[in-house]
Amino acid sequence: MTTINKNYLKLPGSYLFSTIGKKVREYEAAHPDAKVISLGIGDVTQPIAPAILDALHAAVDEMGTAEGFHGYAPDLGYAFLRETIARHDFQERGCDIAPDEIFISDGAKCDCSNIQEIFGTDNTIAVCDPVYPVYVDSNVMAGRTGEYDEAGERFHGVVYMPCGPENNFVPELPEGEAPDLIYLCFPNNPTGAVITKPELQKWVDYAKKNGSVILYDAAYEAFISEEGIPHSIYECEGAKECAIEFRSFSKTAGFTGLRLGFTVIPKALKPEGADLHGLWARRHGTKYNGAPYIIQRAGEAVYSEKGRAQIRQQIAHYMENAGIISEGLKEAGYEASGGVNAPYIWLKTPDGMTSWEFFDHLLEKANIVGTPGSGFGPHGEHFFRLTAFGSRENTLEAIDRIKTM
């Protein structure tokens, strides 16, 4: 008799953004005239940049010729893309990362949920609280946590590291026994907070001292606008011996609908002498078949001179939105942070409302969709996330509505 993976049953409700989507669809069905503006899910809205479109068209044309046709991609990605990434994202920043330490994939969500597979189920995990739900949920599914504690809104066996205004949303080093796998995400989703290089160095030193592995999600590095904020964990000394880094083209270049990301596993990363690079290569070879050729060519175009100029403009546009939201919220009397080195604005809900109460309030009173902070963890309660990815028009209108709500 077939049995199911009972770990799935530990997960409460559905995935956060599926729940939000359902609530919004229900609201829209009941209020067909409402013009709902979503500043909720972190999805981009600007069209793909011209230099990238050109690369896509050219690659599609290639696929239509016998000489230019590309079948199965190399397991770990095309050399042209891996080399481009190694040069621009790492070597030019002084990080000694080689092309063959880079694994191309169809996105950081897949990578950061699949990475746990190469680790033992006996590892303890630590996450920031609040946190992108995928880190915890993928570990729940794999049986690396205990049951869900309804009252505490947390899984037993997971080390939650509180992040709030009191620590500028950067967690303190855990006390007691060191966790084995430490998920860090900076610039942070959902809080928009960043970590300085000396602060990140402390984490690297801690991981090295304790034999922990840091799983570093740098999906938002392109939004960093201030000096002194590391774009990669490999800017820290010794990080190659203790850290895996995830990157994404989704927010950097509007690839949420094209799907492209990559993971860096340095060959020097050998906990217990184990070859994590080799294990991940084996996983890729066995369970994955590469990102589409045309998408990898699009990824390459992101680094071209034209591509970089166009992407910079897009990011600047979103960050102007972030400024509009941050300023508008402050004018409307809200406490808010983020939005300077990240496309997320993290606001304190007014009048002691819970995050979901504020979600309903905002949807009903202003027809605006945001993301309840409590969906990211217990310390996200009484907070709320807005994103800068809307159109300018929608962003301005949303802020007007919030001000007059």
Restricting to residues 308-347, which ones interact with a second copy according to CB under 8 A? Answer: none
Residue partners of 204: CB distance under 8 A and separation at least 6: 214, 233, 236, 237, 238, 239, 242, 243
List, in sequence order, every beta strand (DSSP E) within 173-258. 181-185, 213-217, 243-248
In whole angstroms, how large is the CA radius of gyration of the chain?
21
Q: Site mask, a second copy, residues 119-138, x = CB under 8 A?
A: xxxxx---------xx--xx
Q: If binding means CB under 8 A, how many residues of this protein chain bind a second copy? A: 84
Q: How many degrees, rounded to 5, is the angle at CA 291 between CA 285 and CA 292?
A: 125
**Least CB distance from residue 133 to a second copy, whole Å?**
8
* 50-63 vs 305-331: helix crossing angle, rounded to 10: 130
Cis ω for the linkage preceding 230 (within 30 of 0): no
Q: Is 382 in the site for a second copy (CB under 8 A)?
A: no
Q: Is 276 in the site for a second copy (CB under 8 A)?
A: yes
Give, in order, the Cα–Cα distances in Å from 99 to each of 76, 104, 336, 382, 396: 10, 10, 40, 43, 42
**Least CB distance from residue 255 to a second copy, whole Å?**
9
Helix (H) or strand (E) holding 347, with range, is strand 344-348
Q: Site mask, a second copy, residues 175-214, x = CB under 8 A?
A: -----xx----------------------------xxxx-
Q: Site mask, a second copy, residues 32-51, x = CB under 8 A?
A: ---------x-xxxxxx-x-
CB closer to a second copy out of 5 and 404: 5
With 0-12 / 13-18 / 19 or more C-beta atoms within 10 angstroms meaning exposed / middle / buried, residue 22 is exposed
Stretch that binds a second copy, among 66-74, 93-101, 196-204, 361-369 (CB under 8 A): 66-74
Q: Is 404 in the site for a second copy (CB under 8 A)?
A: no
CB closer to a second copy out of 133 and 338: 133
Q: Please identify which residue in 184, 258, 329, 345 interacts with a second copy, judged by CB under 8 A.
A: 258
**Least CB distance from residue 125 to a second copy, whole Å?**
10
Restricting to residues 3-32, which ones interact with a second copy according to CB under 8 A? Answer: 3-6, 8, 11, 14-15, 17-18
CB closer to a second copy out of 106 and 221: 106
**Least CB distance from residue 135 to a second copy, whole Å?**
11
Beta bridge partners of 129: 162
Q: Please identify which residue in 73, 131, 163, 218 interacts with a second copy, judged by CB under 8 A.
A: 73
Give, in order, the Cα–Cα distances in Å from 24 to each of 18, 84, 190: 10, 41, 20
CB closer to a second copy out of 228 and 287: 287
